[in-house]
Structure 1
Amino acid sequence: MAEYLETETGRRIAYARIAGAGPGVVFLGGFRSDMTGTKAQYLEAWARAEGRAFLRFDYSGHGQSSGDFEAGAIGDWAADAMAAVTALTEGPQILVGSSMGGWISLLLARDMPGKVAGLVTIAAAPDFTEDSMWQGFDADQRAVLDTVGKIALPSEYGAPLVITRRLIEDGRAHLVLRDPLRLPFPVRMLQGTADADVDQGVALRLLEHVTGDNIRLTLVKGADHRFSDPACLDLIAAAIAEVTADAARA
């Protein structure tokens, strides 16, 4: 059953956590996903078996948290993540960011590095509002977004995806691939070659962009964006274990 964190911004963030040894693991989900997904639940079971502290939560407008999804933007969700990590964890954490959560995790690593012991990304989608959404719009779609304030796009995941002008504009204020980004802790990036939502070129660009002494990218042939079959889930757990071990030696 979810518990709730009341943030300084007035949002009510649903979360679930287990106590255990540090560094704890924090799962940061993707765009329109929630904390009941396959990866989040797998990692909670893994952490429980390992005796590790673990936190999963829903951004505002997602899952069981307060707020309207369409009203939200990257800055809001990053603020939710920072509030959850600050209030609900002790000491440095291993951040595990999936898709949009990869972007959020990079913002946390940049803005609160003292709380980050290591980072694992899964099909990370940094700057996707600009490089994927906005750059993918034609002139007519951009005009609709500018005049109406939002546009609905078909989605293979169910209901149409509504993109708002605020999402695009706020995203521009939180880009991470335009300025230097140092990650001074162990980092493991996981990416499937059959990912139809985040091309492997994004992972290669991120690897090239960031700096640090212990950063590796693993490309998994045939894996899709969900990265949730048993072999992929085991790779995520192995990456967390490797990051933890390297962090302890640093």
Structure 2
Amino acid sequence: MTGTFAGMTEYFTSPQGRRLAYRYTPPVHGPTFVWLSGFKSDMSGSKVTRLEAWAIGAGHGFLAFDYSGHGLSDGDFADGTISAWREDALAAIEAHTDGALVLVGSSMGGWMALLAALALEERVKAMTLIAPAPDFTQKLMWPEFNADQQAEIMDKGFTLRPSDYGEPYTITRNLIEDGEKWSLLDGPIMVDFPIRVLQGMEDPDVPWQHALKLVDALGGGDVILHLIKDGDHRLSREEDIQRLIGVCGELAST
């Protein structure tokens, strides 16, 4: 196992040959928190860095990483799929952590957290999900495309999607079709540990009704959904971050 000083970015090569950036601090006691970022997001955001500082200050472990094609990791974003990013998540967790885990997934990271929990079995003791977006490729993204864009994806293999943060980015047919293989919401999700869901009701990207579908699909009983009436998708305001830290502190104590 490789450890780093808090805040130091290092790199490792996954079993699939991808060079991935990560930060890891081992626990003094208690679980290791694992941050799973969202689609086209990375481990530099305010939520992850604030949660990291809290976790390390409390003596817990903390792991954050960038999926291939994201942030500081190698790779082309357009080559990414749910399968590949799931592999990245499992590779980072298995390479750099031992013992009990609390997974914290934001947006697409919520999907990754659930997929990782199903693969890691008994190691995951709790989970916090922020605007979770399981099945987003089929149930959220695909219906947003108009008929011309859907035809372009099927015929050309990709379309360009506008971004609020810069240049348009590529959405591929491979991403859409691969995502369907990892669908979770249509059947029971057989995990049984405490789960806390934070969801803004003014989220333009992941409607709060999507979180209700997830809660309904979860197989365990200790699931609490926090609906934040004026919350957006990012939930990065100070009060949102304090709520996130509070929920994670509650889970660590259990």
Which deviates more from structure 2 when the two are superposed, residues 124-133 or residues 154-163?
Answer: 154-163
- 2:230 counterpart of 1:226: no
Q: Name the amino acid aligned to 2:213.
A: R
1:9 aligned to which of 4, 16, 29: 16
- 2:114 counterpart of 1:110: no
Aligned pairs for 1:43-58 (under 5 A) are 43-58=51-66
- Contact 1:93–1:116 (8 Å) recurs in 2: yes
Structure 2 length-normalised TM: 0.94
Q: 3-state DSSP class of the match of 2:152? A: helix
Q: 3-state DSSP class of the match of 1:161? A: strand
1:154 aligned to which of 152, 162, 170: 162
Q: Cα deviations across residues 100-129 of structure 1 (Å, max 9, x unaligned)?
A: 000000111122222211100000001000
**Residue in 2 aligned with 1:245?**
253
Distance 1:133 1:213 in 2: 29
**Residue in 1 aligned with 2:32?**
24
Q: Cα deviations across residues 40-86 of structure 1 (Å, max 9, x unaligned)?
A: 11111111211111011000110111110010011101110011111
Q: Name the amino acid aligned to 1:171.
A: G
**Residue in 2 aligned with 1:59?**
67
Distance 2:32 2:48 in 1: 14
Which 5+ residue runs of structure 1 have no aligned equivalent? none
Q: Extract structure 1 runs of 4+ deviating beyond 3 A.
A: none
- 2:143 counterpart of 1:135: yes
**Residue in 2 aligned with 1:123?**
131
Shift of residue 130, structure 1, vs aligned partner? 0.2
Distance 1:36 1:148 in 2: 34
Structure 1 length-normalised TM: 0.95
Distance 1:211 1:196 in 2: 27
- Contact 2:20–2:67 (8 Å) recurs in 1: yes
Distance 2:253 2:60 in 1: 13
CA RMSD of aligned residues (A): 1.1
Aligned pairs for 1:30-49 (under 5 A) are 30-49=38-57
- Contact 1:119–1:186 (8 Å) recurs in 2: yes
Aligned pairs for 1:73-222 (under 5 A) are 73-222=81-230
Distance 2:157 2:63 in 1: 35
Shift of residue 27, structure 1, vs aligned partner? 0.4
Distance 2:207 2:35 in 1: 22
Q: Cα deviations across residues 149-186 of structure 1 (Å, max 9, x unaligned)?
A: 10012122322132100100110111111222122111
Distance 1:114 1:183 in 2: 10
**Residue in 2 aligned with 1:236?**
244
- Contact 1:22–1:91 (8 Å) recurs in 2: no
Q: 3-state DSSP class of the match of 2:189? A: coil
How many matched pairs?
246
Q: 3-state DSSP class of the match of 2:170? A: strand
Once the two structures are aligned, what percentage of the paired residues are identical? 46
Q: Cα deviations across residues 23-45 of structure 1 (Å, max 9, x unaligned)?
A: 11000000011111111111111
